[in-house]
Each structure stands twice: as structure tokens, then as C-alpha cells.
Amino acid sequence: MIADRQMTQKMYKVFYLSFYNSFTVFGLTLNVRRIAGITDKQVHHVASHIGKSQGVVTLLRGLPYNSSKGRIYLPRESLLKFKISGEDVMRGRKQKEICDIVLEVASVAKQHLETARSMKKDVPSTVLPLFLNSIICDKYLKQLQKVDFNVFHPSLQKKNGLLPLQLLLQKIGKKY
């Protein structure tokens, strides 16, 4: 509860969203990298961008559940920009404006993902499996785009039964 309050207070700008994720999700990727004995700075940089993207996607995926519990983790700067209150998000009012905010936040995740992928040539192919979680982010962002960034759309709440196969194909193709 205290952590929720502290996070909400700091979520004033989209920048803080990436900053927060660099300390949470990226920390997990960093630990995996350390366990694997990887010390390459470029790998660290790629992992940072993927971690930030994954954190933003996780925030968007959790928005329907969190809003139903009265927790809104969207940047206040965006809420103010589009003249939306947390109550509007919780009640599903002003749907177009909510979709605009989701688009703005999803763009941050997409930007981090594209930056990480642009550095693929600088990363040893042996570490590419560590970055397969970026596939999950990419798939969600594409699904979100198909439903016009309506994060509450029922199709976004369904499990992807093909995900293990998709991850395997990406691993074989040495992609992330």
C-alpha cells in the first residue's frame, strides 16, 4: 500500500514511468545477465531498454485490474493533458481520451523496444534468448493497436496459447 502511494506520487510524467521501470523490471533482467556471467556494456544497454518497455507494457496490461481496485498508474501529466480524472478511468468514462493516454504511454514502450532492437547487431547472439521477453511486449503492443488502444477491450485479457511456440521460433531465428 505504501509502495503504491509512493509510485502514484512519482508518476507525474511519462519520464518517471521509464525511470521507475529501469529500477524494477530491468533489475530482474540484470540479475539474469549476472547469473549468466555476461558483463558486456551493450548487452546491459539493450536489457535496460527491454526492461523499460516490459515495465510500461505491464502497467498497461494491469490497468483494467488496477483501475477496478481504485489504483491508477497512468502519468498524471497525461491525465491532466487530456483532462481526465482517475475516477473517469475507473468508471470507463471519456473512452477516447483514455485511449489517447494509452497511445501516449504505449508509444514510450514501443520506442524502448525499437531502440533495443536497433542495437541487435552489437549484441552477441549467445545472449539473445535473454531478451525473448521483448516478444511478449511486441505482441501486446500490436494487439493494443488493433483495438485502437482500448486497454479495456476483452481480447486483450485472453491468454495467448501459441506464445511458447512463438518464443521458440524467435529463439531459433535469433530474434528478439
Distance CA 54, CA 135 (A): 10
Residues 113-157 have pLDDT tens digits of: 999 999 988 888 878 888 888 899 999 999 999 999 999 999 998
Residues 5-31 have pLDDT tens digits of: 444 444 555 655 665 655 566 566 666
Residue 106, judged by CB atoms within 10 A of its CB (0-12, 13-18, 19+), counts as: buried
How many separate domains does the chain show?
1
160 DSSP assignment: -
pTM of the model: 0.79
Q: What is the CATH number of the domain that holds 107?
A: 1.10.600.10
Domain that holds residue 110: 2-172
- How far is Cα of residue 11 from the mean position of the Cα atoms in its chain? 15
Q: How many other C-beta atoms can be found within 10 angstroms of the C-beta atom of residue 87? A: 11
Where helices occur in 69-173 by DSSP H, the ranges are 76-81, 86-91, 95-118, 133-146, 163-172
Distance CA 148, CA 119 (A): 29
